[in-house]
């Protein structure tokens, strides 16, 4: 009779073990009983980069990478992008259900009334070098908010936790916009609580001296949709960092700072910045074949292509591609890089190298072109990603804290270093005979 168990025979000893299978998963700890001698540590799994390891049980975001499915709390992301606002989606991620009208009004009001930051924050944003990268400033200032809210360390107190979640969602656009203003040498603009979340962000970033600052509502909506598409993506690199930092019970400000730092890298949220630079470097459609040849020869990666989870078209990229067209129509100018991007996509989707590796455009491939059309510099792209991802990080963080299975994140290792050695006094030390061998560095963007 079929059983939900796995039988494992250890060929070193001939012993057979039976371990439970739940949700198509075995518990790594069940392997610890597999030993040759009683004094052994027991069998471990090796999974560098977590290719096949579930680190948690989660009910927030569902992805089926082969089918190109992304759902938040069960709702397909394209339906949310079509029908909801970003704050509605943030509420959904955090609370598990879409808000009623009065719940949404209350949430929007709470967020809106926490958009201001302590005046000292502006002093230390002012202290950054004139050419500081806005993402570096965002990481530093969001971490510094920890010092303004010392009660935030009581992470097991539900009311305190929720207050910080609202604060973080509310203040990220302010910190982001101010980082931008500083990098442009422009005076800071204080939040305008008459405006919606996305409009207020554009206002704080873009206002110069207009008596009445106005952005086309469809541009505001496009930004809100981009925020929805970036709000969560289950156990990605930055979320894993958020959970990892949070697992030590650090407060959410420093945890968000760590998550944002992970997002900054070019293989994660920094990819949209890298896509734009790549498109500029290619410059024109005629240069594409040579560029693709170089990529296939191992000379770099096609940025904005490929995904650890999606082995099909990223569902977010489909929405963003449509949005890119709409935004460019609205601002009245097509980016000269759009034909380069479209031709690159066409070639890549028909080239065996990319097809056989299931490399499709990801969320970052077209988002940079939208931001460029909105005259937002490439340095700001990862910052624009961090703003909405904050709600996802916080939902995942709280889920982790309330999960009885979770403990401080602490992986094992396979030790490959020296066995015990006797200490050598400094006077007796000699340089090694041959230079220490370093493993071959990985590709620049890897």
**Applying CB under 6 A, which residues contact ligand ACO?**
267-269, 271, 295, 301-308, 357, 359, 362-364
Find all residues with CB under 8 Å of 24, minimum gap 6, and list them: none
With respect to ligand ACO, which residue has the nearer C-beta, 166 or 369?
369
- CB of 310 vs ligand ACO, minimal distance in Å: 8
Q: Read off the tokens for 212.
A: 């009445």
CB atoms within 10 A of CB 126: 10
The secondary element (H helix, E strand) that includes residue 10 is strand 5-10
Place of tokens 């709280």: 398
Distance CA(352)–CA(62), nearest Å, equals 29
Q: CA 179, CA 166: separation in Å to the nearest integer?
A: 20
CA angle 246, 251, 257 (to 5 degrees): 80
Return the number of the residue (205 or 263) whose C-beta is nearest ligand ACO: 263
In the complex, the smallest distance separating the C-beta of residue 424 from ligand ACO, rounded to whole angstroms, is 40
| Spatial separation of the C-alpha atoms in residues 122 and 141, rounded to whole Å | 9
CB of 210 or CB of 352, closer to ligand ACO: 352
Of 269, 262, 167, 231, residue with least CA distance to 393: 231
Q: What is the DSSP string of 300-324?
A: S--TTB--SS-SS--HHHHHHHHHH
Closest approach, Cβ 3 to ligand ACO, in A, equals 33
Q: What DSSP string runs through 278-307? A: HHHHH-SGGGHHHHHHHHHTTSS--TTB--
Nearest distance in Å: CB 241, ligand ACO: 13
Instruction: Quote the least distance from Cβ 295 to ligand ACO, whole Å.
Output: 5
CB of 227 to ligand ACO, least distance (A): 14
Provide the minimum distance between the beta carbon of 307 and ligand ACO in the complex, in angstroms, as a whole number. Answer: 5
180, 383 Cβ separation under 8 angstroms: yes
Please tell me what DSSP assigns to residue 437: P
CB nearer to ligand ACO: pick between 197 and 381: 381
Q: Give every CB contact of residue 309 below 8 A, 6+ residues apart in sequence.
A: 63, 65
CB–CB of 295/302 below 8 Å? yes
| Tokens at 368, concatenated | 């940079």
Residue sitting closest to ligand ACO (CB): 306
Q: Report yes or no: 57 and 403 within 8 Å, Cβ to Cβ.
A: yes
Specify which residues 107 forms β-bridges with.
none
Q: CB 341 → ligand ACO: shortest distance, Å?
A: 13
User: For residues 326 and 324, what is the distance between their CA atoms, to the nearest angstrom?
Assistant: 6
Q: Indicate the SS3 state at residue 343.
A: helix
Of 214 and 444, which has the nearer Cβ to ligand ACO?
Answer: 444
Asked if 303 contacts 265 with a C-beta cutoff of 8 angstroms, the reply is: no
Angstrom distance (rounded) from CA 197 to CA 170: 8
- Pairing between strand 5-10 and 15-20? antiparallel
* Shortest separation between residue 379's beta carbon and ligand ACO, angstroms: 17
Asked if 358 and 300 touch (Cβ cutoff 8 Å), the reply is no
Closer to ligand ACO by CB, 89 or 145: give it.
89
Active site (catalytic) residues:
268, 307, 364
Instruction: Return the number of the residue (111 or 320) whose C-beta is nearest ligand ACO.
Output: 320
Nearer Cβ to ligand ACO (58/238): 238
By C-beta, is 200 or 235 nearer to ligand ACO?
A: 235
Q: Which residue has the tokens 């001296």?
A: 209
């Amino acid at each position: 009779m079929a059983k939900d168990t796995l039988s494992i025979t250890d060929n070193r000893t001939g012993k057979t073990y039976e371990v439970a299978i739940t949700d198509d998963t075995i518990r790594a700890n069940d392997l610890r009983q597999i030993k040759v001698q009683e004094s052994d540590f027991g069998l471990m799994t090796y999974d560098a980069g977590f290719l096949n390891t579930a680190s948690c049980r989660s009910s927030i975001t569902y992805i089926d990478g082969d089918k190109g499915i992304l759902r938040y709390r069960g709702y397909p992301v394209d339906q949310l992008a079509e029908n909801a606002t970003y704050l509605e989606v943030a509420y959904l991620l955090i609370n598990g259900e879409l808000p009623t009208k009065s719940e949404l009004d209350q949430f929007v009001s709470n967020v809106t009334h926490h958009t201001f930051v302590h005046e000292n924050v502006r002093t230390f944003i002012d202290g950054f070098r004139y050419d500081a990268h806005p993402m570096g400033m965002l990481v530093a200032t969001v971490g510094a908010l920890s010092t303004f809210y010392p009660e935030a360390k009581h992470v097991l107190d539900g009311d305190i936790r929720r207050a910080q979640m609202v604060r973080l969602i509310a203040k990220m656009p302010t910190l982001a916009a101010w980082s931008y203003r500083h990098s442009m040498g422009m005076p800071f603009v204080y939040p305008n609580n008459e405006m919606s979340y996305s409009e207020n962000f554009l206002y704080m970033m873009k206002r110069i001296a207009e008596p009445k600052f106005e952005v086309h509502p469809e541009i505001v909506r496009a930004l809100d949709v981009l925020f929805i598409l970036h709000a969560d993506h289950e156990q990605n690199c930055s979320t894993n960092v958020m959970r990892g930092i949070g697992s030590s019970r650090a407060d959410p400000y420093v945890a968000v700072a760590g998550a944002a730092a992970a997002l900054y890298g070019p293989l994660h949220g920094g990819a949209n910045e890298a896509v734009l630079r790549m498109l500029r470097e290619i410059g024109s459609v005629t240069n594409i074949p040579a560029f693709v040849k170089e990529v296939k020869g191992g000379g770099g990666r096609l940025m904005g292509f490929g995904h650890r989870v999606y082995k099909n078209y990223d569902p977010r990229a489909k929405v963003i591609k449509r949005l890119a067209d709409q935004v460019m129509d609205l601002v009245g100018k097509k980016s000269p890089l759009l034909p380069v991007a479209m031709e690159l996509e066409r070639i890549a989707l028909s080239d065996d190298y990319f097809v056989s590796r299931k490399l499709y455009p990801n969320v970052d491939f077209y988002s940079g072109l939208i931001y460029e059309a909105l005259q937002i510099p490439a340095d700001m792209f990862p910052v624009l990603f961090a703003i909405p991802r904050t709600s996802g990080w916080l939902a995942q963080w709280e889920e982790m804290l309330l999960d009885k299975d979770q403990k401080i994140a602490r992986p094992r290792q396979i030790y490959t270093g020296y066995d015990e050695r006797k200490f050598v006094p400094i006077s007796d030390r000699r340089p090694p005979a041959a230079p220490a061998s370093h493993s071959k560095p990985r590709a620049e963007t890897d």
